[in-house]
Amino acid sequence: MPLRSALKKTRVVLGAVDAIDTAKRTATVRPPEGPPLTLGCDHLVIALGSTTRMPAAVPGLTEHAVGFKTLAEAIWLRNRVLENLEIADTSGDDAARRALLTLVLVGGGYAGVETAAELYDMMREAARYYRGLRREEIRVVVLEAAATILRDLGDDFASRVQRHLIHKGIEIRTGTTLESVDTDHVVLKGGEVVPTRTVVWTAGVFANPTVNAVPATKDGRGRLVTTPEMRVPGLENVWALGDCAAVPDAKAGGEAAPQTAQHVLRQARTLARNIAAAVEGGATRPFAHGNLGMLAALGSNDGAGRLFGVPISGWIAWWVVRTYHLLQLPTFARKVRVLIDWNIQLFFPRDIAQLGSLGTIRRKSRG
């Protein structure tokens, strides 16, 4: 999002936060060039998000796996999958082909489940362009340590999505952990070896490390524990929300809200009202997420979940998910651009071009 055009009444400062002084309510920001800046405020809002956490206890994980949180990681993963198809198409080594055509995702949350479904569909659609490949050779495996995927969203919803994914052909391994990762295989709990050259880690995030400098209580994920109004206890006029905060949900019995965009969008609206109320001497309100349903996009024109308590699946669920995401995009111009792009995609096959040249500048030699 172009922040400067979207936030016309806001001063936007580009830089990395080096320090936060909650007593003085200041932040030290290091810009791309020049000396550090010290920015003061009346109210300090901490919304630093989260980072991918890969446990060092799993041998080979940090060396051979990739996270799935940034745009760069998403582009890398897309390129990796398409490159693997290219190599497998001409490979005469059966063991190498199995590893190239197998994708392992660790983590059965929203990120892992929806990524697995989308990549599975992309690989199967792309396979028709390769004469040496068969769709049946493509294998996507989702590993989840808990007894069910999507455990934060309710057993009924999770079971529905899990059955749907298995019906599509995706392997769901619950109660399974990763023991080690190598260049061409992973070892699961119990000793099973799964050949693969692509491992995606979506099994959890940790609050941005900068939060550690804030003198306040953190939970097991490193998040700032807040009041229902999103105040940081013990710190005057300091607030927190999003992935770096454990915000109690009044409509969920005070349980911390899941780290999803749907929740943080509502947190932001509530927090904006609370800061205005605090400035004007009014009453603040607790965060309460009125959940209308649980939905997951499961690849091309496919989805599953419940809306107003009614189970839906297939194309209608996919359409509802996309419509919701479209409506939540900031600015009217951005909504129109995305809507036009999505509609164009409906009439053409999936694009399987690699995006490896992005960010690369070729300079012409001068003779």
- pLDDT score, position 158: 82
Say whether both 53 and 200 belong to one domain: yes
The domain that holds 245 is classified in CATH as 3.50.50.60
Q: How far apart are CA 185 and CA 201, in angstroms?
A: 14
Tell me, yes or no, whether 174 lies in a domain. yes
- pLDDT score, position 291: 72
Tell me, yes or no, whether 142 lies in a domain. yes
- pLDDT score, position 159: 83
Q: Note if the pTM is more than 0.95.
A: no
Helix (H, G, I), strand (E, B) or coil at 155: helix
- pLDDT score, position 295: 79
Number of structural domains in the chain: 3
Tell me, yes or no, whether 2 lies in a domain. no
Tell me, yes or no, whether 217 lies in a domain. yes
Say whether both 117 and 169 belong to one domain: yes
Say whether both 54 and 161 belong to one domain: yes
Stretches where the chain sits below pLDDT 70 are 152-153, 356-367
3-state SS record for 8-29: CCCCCCCCEEEEEECCCCEEEE
Say whether both 202 and 212 belong to one domain: no
- pLDDT score, position 152: 65
Torsions phi, psi of 158, nearest 5? -60, -45
- pLDDT score, position 356: 61
- pLDDT score, position 70: 84
Say whether both 54 and 159 belong to one domain: yes
- pLDDT score, position 199: 95
Q: How far apart are CA 121 and CA 131, in angstroms?
A: 18
Token digits of residue 128: 């028709």
Tell me, yes or no, whether 240 lies in a domain. yes
Say whether both 40 and 53 belong to one domain: no
- pLDDT score, position 65: 92
- pLDDT score, position 359: 45
Say whether both 71 and 145 belong to one domain: yes
- pLDDT score, position 365: 41
Say whether both 62 and 197 belong to one domain: yes
Tell me, yes or no, whether 31 lies in a domain. yes
Burial per residue of 184-198, b for 16 or more beta-carbon CB atoms within 10 angstroms, e otherwise: ebbbbeeeeebbbbb
Contacts of 294 (CB under 8 A, 6+ apart): 153, 154, 157, 305, 306
**Domain range holding 257?**
14-46+208-280
The 10s digit of each residue's pLDDT in 267-290 is: 999 999 999 999 999 999 999 987
